[in-house]
């Protein structure tokens, strides 16, 4: 009997457990969370309209500031610049070993977009191909004083200079590092058509007349962008850029005309005006057989142009009149005691007479369209004012690709041309000044005194000594006037309200890793 009672109790307990299980099961299933599949990130394409895009996929052949702003996202340099301060990039550190040798310690674990490893061999190859005069790179003037590049080990490079060069590290900001194996395998032409770098974006497609397109990579040492694609569209005409922005075809329009600023603001489009490290001048060529060989004539040209009036009427006041030097106060080497040439047409005519041209002179000038803000209108205004002082100018306009190539190799024909001398990315007077040396292929100046002053400035390792030497160089430049000084550019950027984190800087760059697009 006792066994039977125990058996009944056991069966009853089991039945109770089973019933509880049945009763609880539906409740458990009803409250169980359902896991939704993760959402794929929404593709974000940023489209930028600007007056010029790179003339080549190869960064060794275009010095245009707008091109540099594109290249820096596909390629990297050894060092970079943050508001004028040199900071590490592909080189983690550097030091001056002696008066003629710099040593660079390279970043490890970096690969090019094609999988090729970044190392000392890539640095040596990239510097030497620009240094090779046969390659005709316009950047050669920045590094021409390099004697050789030594590979110390896989991640250490020694750069040996012909003399003491205090400006070397800053000059290397213009040398983008390319993969030597890939370059040698495909050759320079095919490399320009399908470039490969180490930057946070990889090359997708390019047409020199329409666009340059890149796509984000997630393996860059700089980090992964939020943007998935960036398209730089070439739109030479400012009005066309504005219309495309208003139509929603562009997210950003650079270098918009000042007269539409209020119009765009009224449409809730953000407008940002930023002084940039680029000086607008009329480049004079005293090396040619023309009246411009006489510095009195060149001084006369500087007195003959009312820069303030042109700046206000054509540029809406966006810019800063140059103080007889190629850089502004944002640059190392700016000389604060120099003043602009005043507008004095009477003095201009007197100087022409002293030079032996009482009836004036006739010269030829090349202009560009869309290469610089309002460049066509500026050239026309300058020519009109020069004519009032007896300096008659035959002005012709040159297509941008031809303009870039021929101004860089010294074959641009006319006696003078409009130009924008950039002192970015290092924000240093040493950026434009090397191109005026007698040895330069641009053939802008042949003056031993300038060469001596430049060498004194460039060779100074002590900062204070170099700064004083830079001022001496600028004083000579103002007195001898190998350019007609105009102004330091300001860039006016129009940005759709959906674009977040787009902050233009004085070196013409934007940190695209901080940019995102919100749903409209």
User: Do 61 and 138 touch, CB atoms closer than 8 A?
Assistant: yes
Segments of the chain assigned to CATH 3.10.105.10: 277-490
User: Do 494 and 264 touch, CB atoms closer than 8 A?
Assistant: yes
User: Do 110 and 65 touch, CB atoms closer than 8 A?
Assistant: no
Please report the pLDDT score of residue 134 as a whole number: 95
pLDDT, tens only, 287-336: 998 999 999 999 999 999 999 999 999 998 989 999 999 999 888 889 99
Query: What is the phi/psi pair of residue 446, to 5°?
Result: -130, 80
pLDDT, tens only, 269-299: 999 998 899 999 999 999 998 999 999 999 9
Please report the pLDDT score of residue 41 as a whole number: 59
Prediction pTM value: 0.73
Residues near 65 by Cβ (< 8 Å), separated by ≥ 6? 276, 278, 420, 422, 424, 508
Segments of the chain assigned to CATH 3.40.190.10: 42-73+199-269+496-520
User: Do 66 and 508 touch, CB atoms closer than 8 A?
Assistant: yes
Would you state the CATH architecture of domain 42-73+199-269+496-520?
3-Layer(aba) Sandwich (3.40)
Q: CA distances (Å), 6 to each of 3, 15, 20, 110, in order?
A: 5, 14, 21, 75
- CATH pick for 277-490 out of 3.30.470.10, 2.60.40.1120, 3.40.50.740, 3.10.105.10: 3.10.105.10
Within a 13 Å sphere around the CA of 91, how many CA atoms are in the beta-carbon half?
29
Segments of the chain assigned to CATH 3.90.76.10: 76-188
Please report the pLDDT score of residue 84 as a whole number: 65
Longest pairwise C-alpha distance within the chain:
142
**198/222 Cα distance (integer angstroms):** 9
Question: Hey, which bits of 107-221 come out as E strands?
Answer: 146-153, 156-161, 201-207, 211-216
Residue from 87, 155, 77, 170 nearest 121 by CA = 155
Which parts of the chain have pLDDT scores under 50? 1-33
Q: At what angle do helices 307-315 and 375-388 cross, to 10 degrees?
A: 150
**301/382 Cα distance (integer angstroms):** 10
Please report the pLDDT score of residue 19 as a whole number: 38
Residues near 269 by Cβ (< 8 Å), separated by ≥ 6? 245, 246, 494, 495, 496, 497
Query: What is the phi/psi pair of residue 60, to 5°?
Result: -85, 0
* CATH 3.40.50.300 is the classification of domain 76-188: no
Please report the pLDDT score of residue 17 as a whole number: 38
Residue 236, SS3? coil
């Amino acid at each position: 009997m006792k066994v039977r009672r125990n058996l009944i109790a056991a069966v009853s307990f089991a039945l109770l457990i089973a019933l509880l299980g049945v009763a609880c099961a539906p409740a458990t299933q009803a409250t169980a969370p359902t896991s939704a599949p993760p959402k794929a990130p929404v593709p974000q394409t940023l489209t930028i309209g600007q007056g010029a895009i790179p003339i080549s996929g190869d960064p060794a052949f275009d010095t245009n500031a707008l091109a540099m702003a594109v290249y820096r996202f596909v390629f990297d340099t050894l060092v970079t610049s943050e508001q004028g301060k040199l900071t590490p990039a592909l080189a983690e550190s550097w030091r001056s070993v002696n008066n003629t040798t710099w040593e660079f310690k390279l970043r490890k674990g970096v690969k090019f977009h094609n999988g090729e490893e970044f190392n000392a061999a890539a640095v040596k190859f990239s510097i030497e191909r620009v240094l090779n005069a046969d390659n005709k790179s316009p950047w050669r003037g920045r590094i021409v004083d390099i004697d050789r590049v030594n590979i110390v080990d896989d991640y250490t490079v020694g750069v040996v200079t012909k003399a003491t060069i205090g400006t070397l590290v800053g000059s290397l900001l213009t040398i983008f590092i390319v993969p030597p194996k890939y370059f040698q395998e495909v050759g320079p032409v095919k490399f320009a058509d399908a470039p490969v770098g180490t930057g946070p974006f990889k090359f997708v497609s390019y047409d020199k007349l329409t666009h340059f397109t890149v796509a984000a990579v997630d393996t860059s040492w700089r980090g992964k962008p939020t943007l998935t694609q960036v398209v730089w569209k070439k739109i030479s005409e400012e009005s066309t850029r504005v219309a495309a922005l208003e139509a929603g075809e562009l997210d950003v329009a650079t270098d918009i005309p000042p007269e539409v600023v209020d119009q765009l603001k009224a449409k809730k489009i953000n407008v940002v005006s930023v002084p940039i490290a680029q000086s607008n001048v009329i480049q004079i060529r005293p090396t040619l057989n023309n009246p411009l060989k006489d510095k009195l004539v060149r001084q006369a040209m500087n007195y003959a142009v009312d820069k303030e009036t042109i700046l206000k009427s054509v540029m809406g006041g966006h810019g800063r009149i140059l103080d007889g030097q190629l850089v502004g106060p944002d640059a190392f080497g700016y000389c604060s005691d120099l003043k602009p040439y005043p507008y004095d047409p009477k003095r201009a005519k007197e100087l022409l007479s002293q030079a032996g041209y009482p009836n004036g002179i006739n010269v030829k000038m090349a202009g560009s369209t869309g290469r610089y803000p309002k460049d066509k209108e500026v050239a026309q205004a300058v020519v009109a004012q020069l004519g009032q002082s007896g300096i008659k100018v035959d002005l012709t306009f040159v297509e941008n690709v031809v303009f870039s190539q021929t101004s860089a190799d010294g074959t641009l024909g006319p006696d003078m041309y409009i130009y924008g001398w950039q002192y970015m990315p290092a924000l240093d007077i040493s950026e434009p000044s090397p191109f005026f040396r007698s040895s330069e292929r641009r053939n802008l100046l042949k003056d031993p005194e300038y060469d001596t002053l430049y060498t004194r400035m460039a060779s100074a390792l002590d900062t204070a000594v170099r700064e004083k030497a830079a001022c001496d160089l600028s004083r000579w430049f103002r007195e001898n006037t190998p350019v007609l000084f105009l102004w330091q550019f300001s860039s006016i950027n129009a940005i759709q309200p959906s674009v977040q984190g787009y902050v233009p800087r004085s070196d013409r760059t934007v940190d695209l890793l901080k940019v995102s697009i919100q749903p409209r």
